Amino acid sequence: MVTVRKRTLKVLTLLVLFIFLTSFFLNYSHTTVATTWFPKQMVVELSENFKKFMKYAHRPCTCARCVGQQRVSSWFDERFNRSMQPLLTAQNALLEEDTYSWWLRLQREKQPNNLNDTIKELFQVVPGNVDPLLEKKSGGCRRCAVVGNSGNLRESWYGPQIDGHDFVLRMNKAPTAGFEADVGSKTTHHLVYPESFRELGENVSMVLVPFKTTDLEWVVSATTTGTISHTYVPVPAKIKVKKNKILIYHPAFIKYVFDNWLQGHGRYPSTGILSVIFSLHICDEVNLYGFGADSKGNWHHYWENNPSAGAFRKTGVHDGDFESNVTATLASINKIRIFKGR
Ligand SMILES: *[C@@H]1O[C@H](CO)[C@@H](O)[C@H](O)[C@H]1NC(C)=O
Ligand SMILES: *[C@@H]1O[C@H](CO)[C@@H](O)[C@H](O)[C@H]1NC(C)=O
Ligand SMILES: *[C@@H]1O[C@H](CO)[C@@H](O)[C@H](O)[C@H]1NC(C)=O
Ligand SMILES: *[C@@H]1O[C@H](CO)[C@@H](O)[C@H](O)[C@H]1NC(C)=O
């Protein structure tokens, strides 16, 4: 009996190994089948395939649930594109023609300067390679808090919970000083555009979201000569943020959020939804704070005392309802968690 079992086990093991190897070759090789099985060549091809395999294999993530995991929800898989790069670098800066013309229309900029020249200038000032912090470490579980600016954070006492995350992303004018108990004090990344800029803490990475060519020129200007002080409103001529702490949100990623996630709703995505989708790509676990209205239905910022200050929601530029539906759906399939505050 024992030997029979042992033999069955052996056969099974071999079978599993065979299936694994076959599927490995079928998935990761388009050439092996046709070529001769010459040992030396096989070794070379095996190592090539192994390299390919490592490149495409899912980055290991040790969270109980990993946000980028596919085949959990077809709704998610239809929208999420792992290959999209969230940040602009010197290597991926060339925009496709339709992306560029879409992006140019966002702010109806008159006579923009040449984008190639602007980007070249930009990367002479800010680093052209990706923030090492953003490259996922192999293994581990990167937990991110995306903190919106809703009044529902008031008296939420979320501060310590928010600060407990590896990354804390904030956006636009959001202050922390004076609101630490509710919103926390830690920030690793702050998403802004020139008109929404606020001075940031020493070690905070500024993620500039460019909606027009001038925004990229402003980064250069604001960290050097200070010549740009006005876009469609006054903007800070000089900023204290260190050049090596500046990252640029990729214009093609803005279009990806608009096309894949918002399915063309609104004129273009808000900083809020841009932060959420950004985090899906750089984090393993995503928790949202300060999104949506407060319990009384008011849409104001947590640092404002005017509960009716929700006019920004009705500007027609962003489709707030559709964006909320996207985050609510992400939560309903357990990709993210939304902490609703008060
Ligand atoms: C995903 O993004 C890559 C890189 O931009 C693109 O080449 C590819 O076509 C996209 N895939 C889908 C299914 O849209
Ligand atoms: C930028 O350069 C690329 C390739 O050199 C070119 O195809 C494209 O038209 C240029 N874009 C602009 C806005 O000048
Ligand atoms: C910024 O980072 C440096 C080096 O890690 C550290 O010594 C310093 O305390 C940090 N400053 C703040 C304000 O967190
Ligand atoms: C999102 O909108 C769709 C279509 O209107 C609706 O069926 C769905 O219930 C909404 N999802 C959530 C989570 O609100």
Q: What is the per-residue pLDDT across 49-94, written as a single tens digit (0 to 9) for each?
A: 555 444 444 457 899 899 999 999 999 999 999 999 999 999 999 9
Amino acid 314: pLDDT: 55
In this structure, the answer to whether residues 228 and 334 fall within a common structural domain is yes
Note the residue count of the chain.
342
In this structure, the answer to whether residues 12 and 110 fall within a common structural domain is no
Q: What is the mean pLDDT of residues 98-113?
A: 92
Q: What is the mean pLDDT of residues 130-153?
A: 83
In this structure, the answer to whether residues 166 and 20 fall within a common structural domain is no
How confident is residue 298, by pLDDT bands cut at 50, 70 and 90? confident
Tokens 């903007």 belong to 235
Amino acid 292: pLDDT: 87
Q: 3-class SS at 260?
A: helix
Least confident of 19-28, 36-45, 205-214, 222-231: 19-28
Domain membership of residue 67 (yes or no) is no
Ligand 4 pocket check for 332: Cβ under 6 Å: yes
268 counts as catalytic? yes
Please count the other Cβ atoms lying within 10 Å of the Cβ belonging to residue 121: 15
Amino acid 305: pLDDT: 80
Separation of 203 CA from ligand 3 center, angstroms? 6
Amino acid 310: pLDDT: 57
In this structure, the answer to whether residues 37 and 78 fall within a common structural domain is no
Ligand 3 pocket check for 201: Cβ under 6 Å: yes
* Selected residue with higher pLDDT from 230 and 135: 230
For residues 235 and 228, the answer to whether their CB atoms sit within 8 Å is yes
For residues 284 and 143, the answer to whether their CB atoms sit within 8 Å is yes
Domain membership of residue 62 (yes or no) is no
Domain membership of residue 298 (yes or no) is yes
Whether the predicted model's global pTM rises above the 0.85 cut: no
Residue 149, domain extent: 74-339
**What tokens does 10 get?**
């052996």
265 counts as catalytic? no
* Selected residue with higher pLDDT from 230 and 4: 230
Q: What is the mean pLDDT of residues 37-50?
A: 57
In this structure, the answer to whether residues 23 and 110 fall within a common structural domain is no
User: Which ligand does the CA of 116 lie closest to?
Assistant: 2
Domain membership of residue 15 (yes or no) is yes
Ligand 4 pocket check for 328: Cβ under 6 Å: yes
Residue 268 assigned as binding residue: yes
Tokens 């990354």 belong to 167
| Amino acid making up residue 243 | K
Domain membership of residue 24 (yes or no) is yes
Q: Write the DSSP symbol of residue 56.
A: H
* Selected residue with higher pLDDT from 286 and 44: 286
Residue 316 has pLDDT above 70, yes or no: no
Whole-angstrom distance, CA of residue 33 vs CA of residue 195: 57
Strand partners, 288: 146, 338
Residues whose CB falls within 8 Å of the CB of residue 134, separated by 6 or more in sequence, listed in order: 86, 87, 247, 282
Which atom of ligand 3 is closest in space to residue 202's alpha carbon?
A: 13
In this structure, the answer to whether residues 18 and 116 fall within a common structural domain is no
Domain membership of residue 63 (yes or no) is no
Q: What is the mean pLDDT of residues 313-338?
A: 89
Amino acid 246: pLDDT: 95
Amino acid 50: pLDDT: 55
Q: What is the mean pLDDT of residues 234-240?
A: 95
Which stretch, 34-48, 295-309, 323-337, has highest mean pLDDT?
Answer: 323-337
Q: What is the mean pLDDT of residues 312-336?
A: 86
Separation of 322 CA from ligand 4 center, angstroms? 9
In this structure, the answer to whether residues 97 and 49 fall within a common structural domain is no
CATH no. for residue 209? 3.90.1480.20
In this structure, the answer to whether residues 87 and 181 fall within a common structural domain is yes
Residues whose CB falls within 8 Å of the CB of residue 294, separated by 6 or more in sequence, listed in order: 150, 151, 152, 154, 300, 307, 341, 342
Pocket test for ligand 4, best of 325, 330, 336 (most atoms within 8 A of CB): 325
Domain membership of residue 69 (yes or no) is no
Q: Kindly state the percentage of the chain with pLDDT values over 90.
A: 67
Report the domain count for the chain.
2
Residue 172 assigned as binding residue: yes
Domain membership of residue 289 (yes or no) is yes
Q: Which residues of 47-63 are buried (b: 16+ CB within 10 A; e: fewer)?
A: eebeeeeeeeeeeebee
In this structure, the answer to whether residues 108 and 245 fall within a common structural domain is yes
Pocket test for ligand 1, best of 76, 78, 80, 84 (most atoms within 8 A of CB): 84
Whole-angstrom distance, CA of residue 334 vs CA of residue 329: 9
In this structure, the answer to whether residues 178 and 321 fall within a common structural domain is yes
Residue 249 has pLDDT above 70, yes or no: yes
In this structure, the answer to whether residues 184 and 311 fall within a common structural domain is yes
* Selected residue with higher pLDDT from 296 and 135: 296
Separation of 116 CA from ligand 2 center, angstroms? 6
Separation of 83 CA from ligand 1 center, angstroms? 6
Please count the other Cβ atoms lying within 10 Å of the Cβ belonging to residue 45: 17
Residue 239 has pLDDT above 70, yes or no: yes
Amino acid 22: pLDDT: 47
Looking at 12, 30, 57, which one is the last position of a domain? 57
Residue 256 assigned as binding residue: no
Q: What is the mean pLDDT of the chain?
A: 85
Q: What is the per-residue pLDDT across 187-229, written as a single tens digit (0 to 9) for each?
A: 999 999 999 999 999 999 999 999 999 999 999 999 999 999 9
Residue 248 has pLDDT above 80, yes or no: yes
Amino acid 33: pLDDT: 39
Whole-angstrom distance, CA of residue 74 vs CA of residue 305: 42
Q: How far is CA 100 from CA 18, 80, 250, 263, in A?
A: 48, 21, 11, 18
In this structure, the answer to whether residues 78 and 216 fall within a common structural domain is yes
Amino acid 140: pLDDT: 87
Whole-angstrom distance, CA of residue 37 vs CA of residue 40: 9
* Selected residue with higher pLDDT from 290 and 8: 290
